[in-house]
Structure 1
Amino acid sequence: MAGQHARVMRMLEYFASRPAGQEEPLWLPELWNECGYEDVLERKEGEIRVDPADFLQKHLRYLLELSLQHGPARETDLDKSMIYCALPRYSAAWDYDHSGGIQSGTFLRFMILLPLLKRMDVNILYLLPVTRPSDLNRKGDLGSPYAVYSLYELDPKLHDPLLDEMNGLTLDEELATLVEACHLLGMKVVFDFIPRVSARDNSFLAEHPEWFYWIDTRALEGFRPPEIEGLDFFTECTPDKLETVYASPETRRFLTFFRRPPHELNPDLWNELKERSRLTGEPLLRLAEAEMGVTTAPAHSDWINDVQPIWTDVAFFRLFEDPSPLVLPYLSEDQAPYALFDTIKCNLYPGSKPNESLWEMLTEAAAFQMRTYGIDGFRIDIGHTLPVPLLQDIFRTIRGHAPDAILISEDLFNRNHREAARTGYNVMLGSGWNVMSDIRIERLRDYVQELPELQLHVFACSETADTPRITSRGGKPLSRLMTVFNYFLPNGIPYLTTGMEVFEEQPLNCGLADNTDGADIPRAFFNTMKINWLSPATLLPLLEELGQIKRRYVSLLQPANFYMPDAQDQILIYSYYAGDELFCACFNLNPEEESILRTRRIGPGLSRTELLLESDAGELRTDGDGEEIYVMRPYQAALLMIRLVPKIREEGEESIEQFQEYRHEADRCLA
């Protein structure tokens, strides 16, 4: 056990050695005080003021005590999992000194949140990018975490100044300590790995300009992908569309913007600029723009006629030296390398000459992160556009370090589950985020019915880091309802975006399912922001109850037992049935009116209803005819356990055996 907590113990010993009062006190949200720290200097409106070293010493001891209950992370059962998605610089951001500003979260301060995550039954922590971002072309005041300057360096803002005097401690070790603490609490840690794009200005440009696409700087203003007349909005670039795309005058004009890499255009000048950048610290990309008139091409969507704006801060890696043979007939012989709808999707349009040195770097970068930080897997950003051989190389390397690694596909559609599973993924983002952006009974029913047949697990979520918050769509009642809805879905892993537990309404990003009409609002991906940790209401009690229920009925809540009864008015129902137990999750999707649930209509011959959980207070009673009903409030969820009790059949009443036949027939129809 000693080796498993060596880093945490070293950090604990450091804080124990710090004299009291040596550092300025910190203000923290009282919600974070899971360790029960009592020597509070001051309390004020949901915050506590503490001595940092004393508090962190107590907190780290508490983590070690908790580890005795949870043990080190072992093989992950995805059927019993809960994912928490975090961006440490945002999740743990706070006005720690009450200066009126917001100080960045750090790896150390994010460790304070780990006991809260355990209360929520989290066993997979998914960290959004923590690598060093570029300072050029950045969005907002911080810049996107996806504008990666280097895959081998961490964001220096994630260093904690409280650790400045800890001898020999590197930023890599600060992150490795966070990972170790997660493992002690039975949590696996998954990183966002970014193999398809990099910041337009990055650490690779000097030695490998051929890894990127280049354009004339005069084309930068107003740069955007061509709009293709005759094709619909948001059209996938399938091979039958290629002729239309390349016949377009807009495409022909777009292709003229691209240039050869600068080391091919003028090798001597490029070498001079590299040396100048090394000596003066001037960004090499700025020198190339000023002296050579070229710059890396901003990235854009791979979907035709997508209204999404271009990504001005990132550039695509050029994974092949040549275009796909399918598009060669449409190109002139002197065409410079370019990025377009088809060349972006290297999974469908691979060239014949892999950019081998780039592939080797990407594979080694994944190995570096695995061995340096001790993590347990990756979400592969835009991974569905990678050539399959490259993806499989990366997966082999990852599994060489962790045979049971968690590998998450960003694919946005459940329909691609077979391909994702064949490629080697075991989890997929899937369609939930889209379905739950427009909550209607028919959409949810269609979505739920396809889940038992999926060949891998999907995120069960109503929001992600790329979508608006669910609370912004329907307030706390809808947020509570959808939390229950997502907790028991077959092949679904409940997924929380950081801040959802306190009903946060400000988004991290709105790239998908935007409900802001394009408003220029602060977004945590780009701007200095903090979560409303002082919220008087939280999801924590509800999440704790849900976790207890799931553990109690884990053997029943299996895809093989899944059954979907008919909806009743605006009440959507999904169930699990085995033996004499019928577990029913019921959801009144009407935001304004009560709805009546008649339990006998879920299946004939039912009796003995037990109310397991309510997201809001409903009423279980019998009506004037003696029939059991449950009155559900607007946007209310309820979990019921209905026991099937044999009894004498009255005229016109179906028996349990007939109900079982009815249920099996429904299963056959779904199959």
Structure 2
Amino acid sequence: MTRHLQQLLDALAALPQQQPYKHYHIPALWVGESSGTVSVDPKRHYSDAIESILARDPHPLQDAGADADTWSRSAAVYNLFARLTTAFDHDGNGTINPDPLQGGFRETGTLLKSIALLPYIKKLGVNTVYLLPLTAPGTVNRKGNLGSPYAIKNHFTIDPLLAEPALGLSAETTLKAFVEAAHHLGLRVMFEYVFRTASIDNDWIPQHPDWFYWLYDTPPASADSTPFGPPEFDHDTLNRIYEQVDKHDHQKLPDPPQSYRNRFAPTPERIQQNPDGSYTGITAEGDTCSIASAFSDWPPDDRQPPWTDVTYLKLHRHPGFNYIAYNTIRMYDTLLDNPEARNTELWNAIQGIIPHYQATYGIDGAMIDMGHALPAELKAGIVKKARQADPGFAFWDENFDPSSSAKDEGFNAVFGSFPFVLQDPIYIRGLLNFLSKTGVPLPFFATGENHNTPRVTHNHPGEEGRRRSQFIFALAMMLPAIPFIHSGMEICESHPVNLGLNFTDDDRKRFPAESLPLFSRATYDWKNTNNLSPIHTYITKLLAIRQRYHNIISSGEKGSLVLPFTSSPDMVAVMRKGSRSNLIFAGNSNFKNKIQTTLEFSRETCTTTDLIQGKPLQVERHKLELTLEPGQSVMFEMPH
């Protein structure tokens, strides 16, 4: 069905024939041209884009009807942050305006523009679109000028900023059209969900104050009076916490100091909303209290400042746990194993979120933010309810370990540790050796970056960064993993989206929240692509190679990945073993100098072809001599 797409067409057709635009620019890349911009009439452009999608014969989903494990292994992903990915300075005045331009179209990213981008995404060779949270963000203590998409104000309301005012249609209607368009093109749609945290002005607060943690506005004399943040532990207590967690011993984990716990108020009996949208609670004793902001809760000595716009949801009612500490681990305390300790009504509400999106939008899967920080029973309930409606619904977990335990929990893929090691060849070899010995029970994301890590070109600008991006993506295509294109990667975007992991103190000084696209209006350098040639055609070629050899590449069996000996320390080589032939990758991890190296084979002589460049490769006297430019990679098939 495409009735919501037709609604968009009707709304566009109803707009005045003469839009009050002299110039409305879009990136040339969006319409298949080279870098730069093209000037379009927005009414005509978006109408043409939707009509061109509908004019295509419906494209079946890859592995249609397959179980979630099967289609996840065949997924190739484009990670879309709608508010950012399709943002652009359409009027060319040097700013990104969240208010609609004259005529009603926005410069921040919208779902209409995301629909128009789908043919470009499809052309890259991906088959799955994964969207960062789309829900309306909170407004109290908002980060940046747009707010964090992870500060969820309402779990069922789509951010109104993602709608185009010109159409007079809601963001919800436009999102339905987006999913229809993606499915028509043969693209599955994954949403990311946030279940561990919410905004400090979340709409659940007035009706369900017991779902949240509260702080006394005036702490009692027995409470710590320093600015609120993570509890501090003495050296011996920290060591005990680490030792117990390392041993998976969650019995009687240490509490934070009593003075810290005394800061937290009991659930208030009355709630009042303040003019700024925040909430004040009044306890039975008449004390006032406010929602406790969250912080990075693991490790327990993490000194990041509080996350002022979000709070942790109170998943357990146990009276001994009326505080936020190192909850990511502490919630596994055996004292919480008793079902009576669960905040059952909250759990039921959380378990009902994904079924709502399945019924309303027809999505194909979910990525669970901080899935490692949810109780196992809650995660099991989330998975069970979603699969009652759709047995093929996929679940991906923000878990760094692609172990069988995540598979046992019903997940079909995990985030993995790839972005954290891929930028260092030494760590790359360590990871490859580990995968060779252990196998891969379920796929992880094959990428050098995501919205929480540095861009590949952040630490390595210019041509070196471009070479590094190509090398990483080529290597990733050889692994039993899910190819993952973080939007902007294909144009070598260097500006970080968020300062999550692997950033330096200097980075944190250089990029305040106002400069980070996760919180503030921004755009990619679509126009000039950072003065580098985009790598989108290279990505397309590699995804086609992966699809051709998918049966070999997708195998996670132990022994299916082998590391051949190479004569150069800068050469990274991977062999994937097939039943009739092997697929081999060789890449130069030196991004400044060319190298010469040799690979040895059992076959005395053989002619094969580099699948990337189409050039012949000759094995003579059991040896293949290669000369590779900085960052260059080759892939070739070698018959047994």
- Distance in 2, matches of 1:149 and 1:455, equals 36
Counterpart residue type for residue 537 of structure 2: P
Aligned to 1:366: 354
- Secondary structure class of the residue paired with 1:321: coil
Change (3 A) 1:286 1:49: farther
| 1:449 has 2:440 as partner | no
Preserved CA contact (<8 Å) 1:260 1:336: no
Preserved CA contact (<8 Å) 1:594 1:631: yes
Counterpart residue type for residue 604 of structure 2: G
Q: Deviations over 1:563-619 (max 9, x none)?
A: 3322442211111233553311112112333222323x15453521311115xx999
Counterpart residue type for residue 575 of structure 1: M
TM-fit CA distance, 1:478: 0.3
- Match among 405, 411, 415 for residue 425 of structure 1: 411
Change (3 A) 1:282 1:478: closer
Aligned to 1:21: 18
| 1:10 has 2:7 as partner | yes
- Distance in 2, matches of 1:20 and 1:602, equals 67
Preserved CA contact (<8 Å) 1:410 1:429: yes
| 1:377 has 2:365 as partner | yes
- Secondary structure class of the residue paired with 2:235: coil
Counterpart residue type for residue 562 of structure 1: L
- Secondary structure class of the residue paired with 2:546: helix
Counterpart residue type for residue 361 of structure 1: A
Q: Deviations over 1:293-341 (max 9, x none)?
A: 4222222223222243332211111111006xxxxxxxxxxx6711221
| 1:299 has 2:299 as partner | no
Change (3 A) 1:366 1:345: farther
TM-fit CA distance, 1:370: 1.9
- Distance in 2, matches of 1:343 and 1:552, equals 41
| 1:94 has 2:109 as partner | no
| 1:224 has 2:230 as partner | yes
Aligned to 2:166: 162
Change (3 A) 1:63 1:23: farther
- Secondary structure class of the residue paired with 1:149: coil
- Secondary structure class of the residue paired with 2:155: strand
Counterpart residue type for residue 419 of structure 2: W
Structure 1, gaps ≥5 residues long: 37-43, 264-269, 324-334, 645-671
Aligned residues: 594
- Secondary structure class of the residue paired with 2:121: helix
RMSD: 3.0
Q: How does 1:449-598 map to 2 (within 5 A)?
A: 449=436, 453-474=439-460, 475-490=465-480, 492-515=481-504, 517=506, 518-521=508-511, 522-534=515-527, 535=529, 537-559=533-555, 561-569=560-568, 570-578=570-578, 581-598=581-598
Change (3 A) 1:71 1:188: closer
Change (3 A) 1:170 1:628: closer
- Distance in 1, matches of 2:581 and 2:608, equals 10
- Distance in 2, matches of 1:45 and 1:433, equals 27
- Secondary structure class of the residue paired with 2:496: coil
- Distance in 2, matches of 1:354 and 1:113, equals 43
- Match among 387, 398, 407 for residue 386 of structure 2: 398
Q: Deviations over 1:156-198 (max 9, x none)?
A: 111112212xxxx432111111111111111111111111111
Preserved CA contact (<8 Å) 1:320 1:351: no
- Secondary structure class of the residue paired with 1:203: coil
TM-fit CA distance, 1:542: 0.5
- Distance in 2, matches of 1:147 and 1:236, equals 33
- Secondary structure class of the residue paired with 1:457: coil
TM-fit CA distance, 1:552: 2.6
Counterpart residue type for residue 356 of structure 2: F
TM-fit CA distance, 1:10: 2.9
Preserved CA contact (<8 Å) 1:141 1:526: yes
TM-fit CA distance, 1:502: 0.5
Give the % identical residues. Answer: 26
Preserved CA contact (<8 Å) 2:30 2:120: yes
Q: How does 1:597-636 map to 2 (within 5 A)?
A: 597-599=597-599, 601-603=600-602, 605=604, 607-613=606-612, 628-636=624-632
Counterpart residue type for residue 436 of structure 2: Q
Aligned to 2:221: none
- Distance in 1, matches of 2:328 and 2:561, equals 42
Preserved CA contact (<8 Å) 2:253 2:330: no
Change (3 A) 1:214 1:626: closer
Preserved CA contact (<8 Å) 2:158 2:172: yes
- Distance in 2, matches of 1:343 and 1:579, equals 44
Aligned to 1:50: 40
- Match among 235, 249, 255 for residue 261 of structure 2: 255
Change (3 A) 1:6 1:221: same
- Distance in 1, matches of 2:240 and 2:117, equals 43
- Distance in 2, matches of 1:9 and 1:477, equals 43
TM-fit CA distance, 1:135: 0.6
Q: Deviations over 1:4-58 (max 9, x none)?
A: 2222233223324444323535211111114x8xxxxxxx981111111111121
- Secondary structure class of the residue paired with 1:126: strand
- Distance in 2, matches of 1:73 and 1:21, equals 45
Change (3 A) 1:232 1:532: farther
Preserved CA contact (<8 Å) 1:28 1:49: yes
Q: How does 1:54-203 map to 2 (within 5 A)?
A: 54-68=44-58, 74-75=64-65, 77-102=71-96, 103-164=107-168, 169-203=169-203
Counterpart residue type for residue 509 of structure 1: N
Change (3 A) 1:457 1:118: same
Change (3 A) 1:355 1:134: same
- Secondary structure class of the residue paired with 1:210: helix
- Distance in 2, matches of 1:344 and 1:580, equals 47
- Distance in 2, matches of 1:143 and 1:59, equals 30
Q: TM-score, normalised by structure 1?
A: 0.82
Change (3 A) 1:631 1:515: farther
Aligned to 1:209: 209
Q: Deviations over 1:468-510 (max 9, x none)?
A: 10122331110111011111212x0000111101100011112
- Distance in 1, matches of 2:447 and 2:61, equals 28
Q: TM-score, normalised by structure 2?
A: 0.85
TM-fit CA distance, 1:345: 4.5
- Secondary structure class of the residue paired with 1:131: coil
| 1:316 has 2:305 as partner | no
Preserved CA contact (<8 Å) 1:72 1:183: no
Preserved CA contact (<8 Å) 1:237 1:342: no
Aligned to 2:103: none
Change (3 A) 1:15 1:241: closer
Q: How does 1:331-342 map to 2 (within 5 A)?
A: 337-342=322-327
Preserved CA contact (<8 Å) 1:318 1:355: yes
Aligned to 1:33: 31
- Secondary structure class of the residue paired with 1:148: coil
Change (3 A) 1:20 1:74: farther
Structure 2, gaps ≥5 residues long: 97-106, 219-224
Preserved CA contact (<8 Å) 1:304 1:341: yes
- Distance in 1, matches of 2:442 and 2:354, equals 22
TM-fit CA distance, 1:242: 7.0
- Distance in 1, matches of 2:328 and 2:504, equals 31
Q: Deviations over 1:424-467 (max 9, x none)?
A: 1111111212222433253243354257x222221111111110
Q: Deviations over 1:641-669 (max 9, x none)?
A: 2345xxxxxxxxxxxxxxxxxxxxxxxxx
Change (3 A) 1:640 1:257: same
Preserved CA contact (<8 Å) 1:140 1:527: yes
Preserved CA contact (<8 Å) 2:566 2:598: no
TM-fit CA distance, 1:372: 1.6
Counterpart residue type for residue 293 of structure 2: P
